[in-house]
Chains A and B, each alone.
Chain A
């Protein structure tokens, strides 16, 4: 069943994020994807995440299709103006991409091409507007299309450092839902209690929430997030658990899997982000009983 259908039927969807290579050697990507084929509903291919130049998400999605796997891609406004965005959206649909995630795209100043000029012709709401326009059979310039795409589009709510910015982000998410967002990706979940509090605030959006689970890769990574984003809810106990484990990597996999298991009854799905450890995805799924 496709991701869209599962989402509509209210089933728990499992998505795994996979980055495209920086270069043309796609063997690793394909190998990692094959190992989870049939075990996830779809792969999410980010597009130059963190401002790091790499093969486009669209190519990644097509590579996934060639493996018989569904793929969702990120779209955002940093690198393309409204013409390039529309052109790529039409291309994506023609090449079999049915679901998208509109994200905000990290600023270039943190990436690996810091001298580049960001585009930001449209913003996320403007991109939703462009999608709606295309779906209705015309482009933003008002010209008629020969064949219109139909997408299932989601958006994301970021980790918010305080109540004030969460309030602002929830209002913004409401605008995105109004503009056509069919599902919402949550900030990373490390603490179920906090996630439940988030869920009760996001309830008003009346839109399926897909949670996000990060695979922590080390004590250092956990400590880093705990220090820099205390709102993420990584506890000392969690860090201790990783530190004390005889096999730390396996413990990290277990923690991610346990989080996924705990999330099953709470929301409409999970997006698993391994931050470069895509080869660990089969283990995460295994431990989570997926």
Chain B
């Protein structure tokens, strides 16, 4: 899933303060799962903003709505009924959702309420970790199911750097060294011959190397 973290109250207050009527839009997908921008977070942020502006004695109206999927035009269309009564939109979805609203409602200022972080998985309650960098040419089959692009700090393709220590990454002892994980797993699987192979220099065009990407499925388009 796509993970996100809510921006600080200070930053949010700053960005919404020029507006009197705000439409606060959550999303029912990834940001709900990572507790950053689902229905619950929308309600919490809405109350906090109202309380703040009430204390300041500033007139402020806020309308809450949580869409099924903010990155999907079909659901974004539901905002048509509410958009005219708002001066601006504060979106609690990931960057994709924010941009979808901006694309649909060109005349309305749209602001992000969360910082979109990475594609990751939940490690345990309240902890999410990066797992995939969307490189467009997946090598997990060769690396024991551990991604060297997203999980090795140097995106190495052939083995650990000199900084790998006791299974931890040189960048931060809290980070597992991806290459130690890969090696351990290939060994456990009896697949060390995969490690002995020299992986060719990565062609970054399948990733961000060749500009913004698009998928076109002729069968569906």
A residues with a Cβ closer than 8 A to B are: 77-78, 82, 103-107, 109-110, 118, 120-126, 129-130, 140, 156, 158-159, 161-162, 164-165, 167-169, 171-172, 174-175, 178-179
Interface readout for B178-221 with A: 1 if CB under 8 Å, 0 if not?
01100110000000100110111110100000000000000000
Query: Is A158 a contact partner of B158 (Cβ separation < 8 A)?
Result: no
In the complex, whether B154 has a CB less than 8 A from a CB of chain A is: yes
Whether B195 and A171, one on each chain, are in contact in the complex, defined by CB atoms closer than 8 angstroms, is yes
CA distance A120 to B172 in the complex (A): 18
* Other A-B pairs beyond A109-B171, A122-B202, A161-B165, 20, CB < 8 Å: A105-B161, A106-B162, A106-B163, A107-B163, A110-B170, A123-B154, A123-B155, A124-B156, A125-B198, A158-B162, A158-B163, A162-B166, A164-B183, A168-B164, A169-B159, A171-B159, A171-B183, A171-B192, A174-B196, A175-B159
Tell me the bound Cα distance from A156 to B195 in angstroms. Answer: 19
List 25 A–B pairs whose Cβ atoms lie within 8 Å, in order of A's numbering: A77-B154, A106-B162, A106-B163, A106-B170, A107-B153, A107-B171, A109-B172, A120-B154, A121-B204, A123-B154, A123-B156, A123-B158, A124-B156, A126-B200, A130-B201, A156-B162, A158-B162, A164-B184, A165-B164, A168-B179, A168-B180, A171-B192, A172-B158, A175-B196, A175-B198
Q: Is the CB of A123 within 8 A of B157?
A: yes
In the complex formed, the residue of A with least CB distance to B169 is: A107
What is the distance, in angstroms, from A242's C-beta to the closest C-beta of chain B?
Answer: 25
Does B160 reach chain A (CB closer than 8 Å)? yes
Query: Chain B CB within 10 Å — which of A105, A121, A125 has the most?
Result: A125
Q: Are B162 and A165 in contact (CB under 8 A)?
A: no
In the assembly, what is the distance between CA of A124 and CA of B155, in Å?
A: 11
Known contacts A125-B199, A126-B201, A168-B179; decide if A78 and B154 are in contact (CB<8 Å). yes
Closest 5 CB pairs of A and B: A158-B162, A172-B159, A126-B201, A104-B161, A125-B158
What is the total number of residues of chain B having a CB less than 8 Å from a CB of chain A?
A: 31
A130, B162: Cα distance in complex, Å = 20
A residues in contact with B201, CB < 8 Å: 82, 121-123, 126, 129-130, 140
For B159, the chain A residues whose CB sits under 8 A away are: 125, 168-169, 171-172, 175
State A179–B198 Cα separation when bound (angstroms): 9
Of B157, B180, B192, B200, which is within 8 A of A164 by CB?
Answer: B180
Instruction: Name the contact of A129 in the complex, choosing from B160, B165, B179, B200 (C-beta under 8 A).
Output: B200
Residue of B159, B163, B165 ringed by the most chain A CB atoms within 10 A: B159
Nearest CB of A to B177, in Å: 8
**The one of A125, A161, A174 that contacts B157, using a Cβ cutoff of 8 Å:** A125
| A120 adjacent to B155 (CB under 8 Å) | yes
Q: Are B157 and A165 in contact (CB under 8 A)?
A: no
Q: Which chain B residues border A174 with CB–CB below 8 Å?
A: 196
Q: Is the CB of A172 within 8 A of B166?
A: no
A252 shortest CB reach to chain B, Å: 24
Q: Which residues of A contact B162 (CB under 8 A)?
A: 103-104, 106, 156, 158-159
Is B198's CB under 8 angstroms from A104's CB?
no
Residue pair A171, B200 in contact (C-beta under 8 Å) = no
Alpha-carbon gap, A123 to B179, bound state (A): 13
A148 shortest CB reach to chain B, Å: 19
Closest to A157 in B: B162
Is the CB–CB distance between B154 and A107 below 8 Å? yes
B136 to chain A, nearest CB (A): 15
Q: How far is the CA of A25 from the CA of B159 in the complex (A)?
A: 38
CA distance A290 to B167 in the complex (A): 40
Q: How far is the CA of A22 from the CA of B24 in the complex (A)?
A: 51
Q: How far is the CA of A89 from the CA of B61 in the complex (A)?
A: 63
Q: How far is the CB of A78 from chain B (nearest CB, A)?
A: 7
A110 to chain B: which residues have CB within 8 Å? 170
**Residue of A122, A123, A124, A158 with highest tally of chain B CB at under 10 A:** A123
Task: Report the minimal beta-carbon distance from A74 to chain B, rounded to whole angstroms.
Answer: 12
In the complex, A59→B153 CA distance in Å?
A: 29
* A residues in contact with B198, CB < 8 Å: 125, 129, 175, 178-179
A126-B201, A168-B180, A171-B195 known; A104-B158 Cβ under 8 A: no
Q: A82-B201, A126-B157, A171-B192 are in contact. Are A165 and B163 (CB under 8 A)?
A: no
